[in-house]
Amino acid sequence: MSRKSFRIEIDLDQMTEIFKAIGDSTRQQILVLLEQGPKTVTEIVEKFALAQPTISRHLAVLRQAGLVESERQGQHVVYSLRESTINRLCARFFGQFSCCAEIFGKKDS
């Protein structure tokens, strides 16, 4: 296996983990909510008809995939989007398609 194909496999593995994370509608809604700005777990729970432990599990999946980051502020944990991961995902995955290559500034031969 060449180095280039190994790198592609790593990228595909990372992308697969991210797509699995966003494959759940609740996690998609959490990401959209966090687009408005950082939120505490309590603020996120208030927007859903789900228990705090359930939301925390969803946040853990999103954090594991690198889509959100958390920061402890006193007694609260604040979550925010990790925009760099989302940007990389869009560029790497969607940039492979000719219909999207121009948008992402890529055109692979």
Domains of the chain: which residue ranges? 3-95
- The beta strands (E) that lie in 17-109 are given as 39-40, 68-73, 76-81
- Please state the rounded mean pLDDT for residues 39-49: 95
- Please state the rounded mean pLDDT for residues 72-81: 95
Q: Which residues contact 34 (CB under 8 A, 6 or more apart)?
A: 44, 68, 79, 80, 81
List pLDDT tens digits, range 17-37: 999 999 999 999 999 999 999
Q: What is the CATH number of domain 3-95?
A: 1.10.10.10
Of 96 and 44, more confident: 44
